[in-house]
Structure 1
Amino acid sequence: MNRRTLIIRGAAVLLAARARPASAQAAPVLIEMKGSPRGERVAFVPSGVGVAPGTVVRFVNRDAGNSHTATTYHPDILDRPQRIPDAAQPWDSDLLLPEDAFEVTLTVPGVYDFYCVPHEHAGMVGRIVVGTPDDTGWQGPATDPGDLPDAALAAFAAVDVILAQGAVLPPGGDPT
């Protein structure tokens, strides 16, 4: 390979890297699924997180004793009440075994509530705030409790706390 070819290829690599959007270059935001050693407590850690539109969120099951899901509240998934922005796509990771992962890219501003299908009644829920209330099209949190169990409703972090802190631990802290 001659010097000219090397320079042209190097320039092409640099231009391609600059052309990629910033969100594609940023590391995913991590939300871990955790449980206490005997399994009496389970949680998403953090249980509340604020991100910019276009952020990739990666869910990883770090609980050696349980399978978990990351599932949005939406009528298209198990006929649950909608607790994500109207324009957002619902997601369901299906069961994740220990150390399995699932990723989703969140582009629509607003509040996304999600849960673990087998552990919702234990309060294993989370909230992602995408953008801020100043963003065009931003939708705040659902106000209708629907059919959610009391433990789930009590575990959602307040939007203003998530926005102020960036990330919030579940009630009672990290279960591990």
Structure 2
Amino acid sequence: MSTLPNANRRRILQASGSLLLVAMAYSRHARAGETIDIELMGAGNGAHVWFNPRGLIIKRGQTIRWINREEGNVHTTTAYHPDYHGKPLRIPHGAQPWDSGYLMPGESFSVTFDTPGVYDYYCVPHEHAGMVGRIIVDTPDADAQALRQASDALLPAAARDGFVAIELIMAKRVVE
């Protein structure tokens, strides 16, 4: 057996490995810029309303687009932040809060997330019905759980009970 076939095989493997690394880097970059949709949903009779998915993890720099998919009902996506309706802070310190205002059926609203951490949000007219969501950007901030436990008593019971656990989101990545 000559050394030429082994040398060629080694070069091919090295080139393939390099191409794989380039493809992985490109794929990772493409996903970071990808827009992810969250649907604002409701049962036909309005008895049950929700965000779909209710919890997910994304990369810094990704954009979330909320789309009202419920015919005949308005929704919002609003960060838990004192600037909006005096709610407790449940987004990372220094992160930009948001409030979509009322979204009519078919309308959408987008936010790009640049600060790592846990973001809790709700629908203004449906918070008491438990219409809440949670987004984790990269990893949870160090005080994420303590911040939430300190403000849980300030939320309606249905909202407090509607959040997907941080650990479950970290394990599953997307929770519907």
CA RMSD of aligned residues (A): 1.8
Contact persistence 1:106–1:130 (CA under 8 A):
yes
- How far does residue 25 in structure 1 lie from its aligned partner after superposition? 7.5
Q: How does 1:51-90 map to 2 (within 5 A)?
A: 51-90=58-97
- Aligned residue number for residue 50 of structure 2: 43
The TM-score, its normalising length taken from structure 1, stands at 0.78
Higher-helix-fraction structure:
2
**CA distance in structure 1 between the aligned counterparts of 2:166 and 2:135, rounded to whole angstroms:** 9
Q: Percent identity?
A: 46
Paired residue for 2:125, among 92, 97, 118? 118
Structure 1 position 90, deviation (Å): 0.4
1:166 and 1:47 map into 2 onto residues whose CA distance is 11
Specify the SS of the correspondent of 1:67: coil
How far did residue 26 of structure 1 move? 3.4
Question: 2:156 matched to 1:149?
Answer: yes
Question: 1:146 offset after TM fit, Å?
Answer: 4.2
Q: For structure 1, which runs of at least 5 residues remain unmatched after alignment?
A: 1-20, 170-176
Runs of 4+ in 1 over 6 A off after TM superposition: none
Match of 2:144 in 1: 140
Amino acid at match of 2:95: A
Larger radius of gyration: 2
Structure 2, unaligned runs of 5 or more: 1-27
Output the CA distance in 2 between the equivalents of 1:65 and 1:35. 10
Aligned mates of 1:23, 1:73 — CA distance in 2: 29
Distance across 2 between alignment mates of 1:67 and 1:161? 29
> 3-state DSSP class of the match of 1:164?
helix
